[in-house]
Amino acid sequence: MSNGNAVMEMWNKVSRYPGGKLLFSKAVSRKAPYFKTVDASIEELRPNYARLTMKKRRAVQNHIGTVHVIAICNLLEMAMGTCAEASVPKHLRWIPKGMTVDYTAKAGTDITGTAEINPEDWKPGDLDVKVTACTTDGTPVVVGVIKLWISEKK
């Protein structure tokens, strides 16, 4: 079930209780404080997949009243980081190397961000994490890839 991964073990423990997902999300935001700016909630987490949500609120809007793309990129980086930490094999480590995104539509609603990793790609070298952000009706507003550098632990 958890594959011996501490992040997955903690998620599996707390997410089943009322308020557990919120508590877990806040703990992730404390670990990387810049995630607090989007106030995201981790809704689903399993090895090689994460789904997070972010409310459309004044703090993440731009001058035209849509969700700012940089806030969306922050949401997607949180999704990728949570997904990677929940999935990385014990003998490997990861670090972000770059992000390439396309803005495909206006983000006028709450946003759902997902990160997906192909399990066979966990080996030293580059690893592409597919990221997507969608509006509440499922319209993709940002699609892209976050590139990770994977290496053996010393």
Alpha-carbon distance values, 121 to 56, 118, 128 (Å): 34, 6, 8
96 within some domain? yes
Helix pair 20-31, 6-14: axis angle to 10 deg: 150
> What are the tokens at 84?
């990677």
Q: Quick one: which of 92, 15, 76 has its CA closest to 46?
A: 15
Helix (H, G, I), strand (E, B) or coil at 145: strand
Domain of residue 31, residue span: 6-152
pTM of the model as a whole = 0.94
Q: What is the pLDDT of residues 78-101, one digit of tens each?
A: 999 999 999 999 999 999 999 999
Query: Could you give the angle at which helices 6-14 and 69-87 cross, rounded to 10 degrees?
Result: 110
Identify whether 84 is part of a domain. yes
State the CATH number of the domain containing residue 11: 3.10.129.10
Per the domain annotation, does 1 fall within a domain?
no
What was the pLDDT predicted at 66? 97
Q: Give domain status of residue 11, yes or no.
A: yes
Tell me the H-state helices in the chain.
6-14, 20-31, 69-87
Does 134 reside within a domain? yes
Count of domains for the chain: 1
pLDDT band, very low/low/confident/very high, at 3 (cuts 50, 70, 90): low
In tens, the pLDDT along 53-70 reads 999 999 999 999 999 999
Res 1: pLDDT: 44
